[in-house]
């Protein structure tokens, strides 16, 4: 692909490689067989990163360094623990809250790194592309949409831009994530109003309000919770009949705030069914450089995408 068609993407890749030359081969592998749709989504996200970098005191270098920090200092130590113990290091949400969500400087770097990973990691790029090109277009016009845990804000950015989304809402337990999302949407000139609330979904009492949603997105949320089925049941209380939940949950993907181990795409589907939802579609995207067969055999990261419908 040439710079003529993907100028933002080429700028981001070039800057990252200049800062982290050892990552060159990984990037080449990640982009080798991407579809046109995934490339188009990656270009859009890269363009957003460049806009956000223009308002960042550390500029584009800051985002690239935060991505390197994510890979080397956040994910790699957890990966070593996972390989040695066959489980995630933490088991309680309260510990993840203390170590990560309540640590504003850490969360800022974590979210910036994850934003760039949606471009650089093959499985992340495919997951968000499926959301943009498959899920959002499937919604009925005027849908009331909720995202639980918007993090860096990119999924809400695409939802707010969708012609099928009438209202957009975001809930998160991290004040840092809420502010990062709010800032990102402002910098990216999102014109549709987005209601952002510091809200724990387990504390949202559906019985005390008539508010309901046609669509709920939960991207990389379930692995952060002690009981993902309870979370899906709680979320489904906010769905209108016929409404859908789009779930993106990684299997075998250690991180400092991951506490529930999803073992396979089938396991992810089972969680959605156990919550009383009908599974209408599912996908599995293995990590960069791995086939699905290799990822299953070696317990490598797989982004598991499941859409569930409320009866």
CA 93 – CA 167 distance, rounded (Å) = 30
- What is the pTM for the complete model shown? 0.94
Helix axes 154-161, 36-54, angle to 10 degrees: 110
Beta carbons within 8 Å of 74's beta carbon, 6+ residues apart: 110, 113, 255, 256
Q: Tell me what pLDDT residue 45 has.
A: 98
Q: Tell me what pLDDT residue 2 has.
A: 42
As a whole number, mean pLDDT of residues 112-129 equals: 97
Q: Higher confidence at residue 15 or residue 1?
A: 15
Mean per-residue pLDDT over the chain, rounded: 94
CATH code of domain 141-309? 3.40.50.150
Phi, psi of 182 (to 5 degrees): -60, -45
Q: In the chain, list all ranges with CATH 3.40.50.150.
A: 141-309
As a whole number, mean pLDDT of residues 118-135 equals: 98
pLDDT for 4 beyond 70: no
**List of long-range contacts for 89-93, beta carbons under 8 Å, 24+ apart:** 89/254, 89/256, 90/256, 90/257, 90/258, 90/259, 91/226, 91/259, 92/226, 92/259, 93/224, 93/225, 93/226, 93/259
The percentage of the chain sitting over the pLDDT mark of 70, rounded to a whole number, equals 96
CA 120 – CA 273 distance, rounded (Å) = 31
Helix (H, G, I), strand (E, B) or coil at 136: helix
Q: Higher confidence at residue 123 or residue 2?
A: 123
Q: Tell me what pLDDT residue 200 has.
A: 84
CA 243 – CA 215 distance, rounded (Å) = 6
Per-residue confidence band for 77, with pLDDT thresholds at 50, 70 and 90: very high
> Residue 260 CB: number of other CB atoms within 10 A?
19
> Which residue, chain included where needed, has tokens 């559906």?
206
As a whole number, mean pLDDT of residues 188-202 equals: 90
C-beta of residue 46 within 8 angstroms of C-beta of residue 27 = no
Q: Tell me what pLDDT residue 206 has.
A: 55
Whether the CA torsion 85, 106, 20, 220 is positive or negative: it is positive
pLDDT for 147 beyond 70: yes
Q: Tell me what pLDDT residue 180 has.
A: 87
């Amino acid at each position: 692909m040439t710079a003529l068609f993907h100028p933002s993407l080429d700028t981001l890749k070039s800057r990252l490689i200049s800062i982290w030359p050892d990552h060159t081969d990984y990037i080449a592998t990640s982009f080798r067989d991407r579809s046109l749709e995934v490339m188009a989504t990656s270009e859009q996200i890269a363009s957003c990163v460049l806009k956000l970098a223009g308002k960042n005191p550390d500029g584009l270098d800051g985002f690239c360094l935060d991505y390197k920090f994510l890979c080397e200092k956040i994910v790699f130590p957890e990966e070593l623990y996972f390989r040695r113990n066959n489980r995630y290091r933490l088991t309680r949400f309260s510990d993840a809250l203390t170590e990560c969500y309540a640590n504003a400087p850490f969360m800022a770097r974590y979210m910036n790194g994850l934003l760039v990973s949606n471009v650089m990691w093959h499985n992340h790029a495919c997951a968000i592309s499926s959301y943009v090109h498959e899920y959002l277009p499937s919604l009925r016009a005027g849908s009331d949409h909720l995202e639980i845990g918007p993090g860096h804000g990119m999924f809400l950015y695409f939802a707010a831009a969708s012609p099928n989304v009438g209202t957009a809402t975001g809930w998160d337990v991290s004040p840092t994530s809420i502010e990062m999302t709010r800032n990102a949407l402002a910098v990216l000139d999102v014109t549709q109003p987005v209601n952002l609330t510091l809200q724990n979904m387990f504390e949202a009492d559906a019985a005390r309000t008539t508010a309901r949603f046609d669509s709920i997105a939960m991207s990389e949320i379930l692995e952060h919770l002690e009981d993902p089925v309870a979370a899906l049941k709680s979320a489904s209380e906010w769905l209108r009949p016929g409404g859908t939940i789009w779930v993106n949950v990684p299997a075998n993907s250690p991180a400092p705030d991951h506490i529930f181990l999803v073992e396979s795409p089938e396991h992810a589907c089972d969680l959605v069914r156990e919550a009383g939802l009908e599974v209408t579609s599912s996908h599995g995207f293995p990590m960069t450089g791995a086939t699905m067969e290799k990822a299953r055999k070696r317990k490598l990261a797989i982004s598991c995408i499941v859409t569930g419908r409320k009866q």
